[in-house]
């Protein structure tokens, strides 16, 4: 990707293309949801037959939408990135700290999906560069707004925050509640000392 190419133009090349018909779109979205959970729980080798079954469709419907496992990997990954960008736009009116925490909590889900499929689609470097730019464009203003409100430390960069949350996402916790507790502890480290979430 040309370094000077606007993110919006690059983003248009990497979007999930949903079917036009409502019933076909429902099947498509059900397959994405089932695949997201399967990859997060079972890794990149999750059963495609199991994904189709979980989505309530037959395997032929899965292959009609995603001819190869690679197509499914990319669609799931891109769908997560689109969801992050959409959520960031919807959080503009929320309390600055609450908006940042809500978005980073969603980011944990994205990072878990990325970990599951990264090796399978790592060849698509241009897509990853574009998605990284989309994520930064979406999430950085949330951190900056919290910093401007005096709720987040100003010596923390957006990259610092992503490294922190990525580390939590990549850890195998015994139970999901433990991941949530550790994330809360990590976010306390980002918050300005003596501030509270409702300041």
Model pLDDT for residues 97-118, shown as the tens digit of each residue? 999 999 999 998 888 778 878 7
Per-residue pLDDT at 5 exceeds 70:
no
Q: Is the dihedral of CA 41, 42, 43, 46 positive or negative?
A: negative
Alpha carbons 164 and 187: distance in angstroms, whole number: 9
Residue 68's Cα: distance from chain center in Å?
Answer: 22
Whole-structure pTM value? 0.80
Q: State the pLDDT confidence band at 197, using cuts at 50, 70 and 90.
A: low
The confidence score (pLDDT) of residue 158 equals: 96
């Amino acid at each position: 990707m040309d370094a000077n190419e606007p993110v919006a133009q690059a983003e248009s090349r990497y979007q999930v293309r949903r079917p036009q018909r409502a019933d076909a779109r429902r099947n498509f979205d059900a397959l994405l949801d089932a695949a997201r959970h399967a990859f997060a729980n079972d890794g990149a080798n999750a059963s495609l037959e199991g994904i189709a079954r979980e989505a309530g469709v037959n395997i032929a419907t899965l292959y009609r939408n995603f001819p190869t496992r690679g197509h499914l990997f990319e669609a799931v990954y891109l769908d997560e990135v689109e969801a992050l960008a959409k959520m960031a736009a919807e959080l503009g009116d929320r309390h600055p700290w609450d908006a940042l925490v809500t978005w980073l909590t969603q980011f944990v889900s994205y990072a878990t999906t990325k970990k599951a499929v990264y090796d399978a689609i790592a060849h698509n470097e241009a897509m990853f560069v574009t998605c990284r730019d989309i994520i930064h464009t979406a999430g950085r203003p949330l951190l900056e707004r919290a910093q401007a409100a005096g709720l987040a430390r100003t010596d923390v960069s957006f990259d610092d925050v992503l490294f922190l949350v990525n580390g939590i996402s990549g850890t195998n916790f015994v139970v999901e509640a433990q991941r949530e507790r550790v994330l809360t502890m990590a976010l306390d480290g980002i918050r300005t000392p003596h501030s509270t979430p409702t300041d």
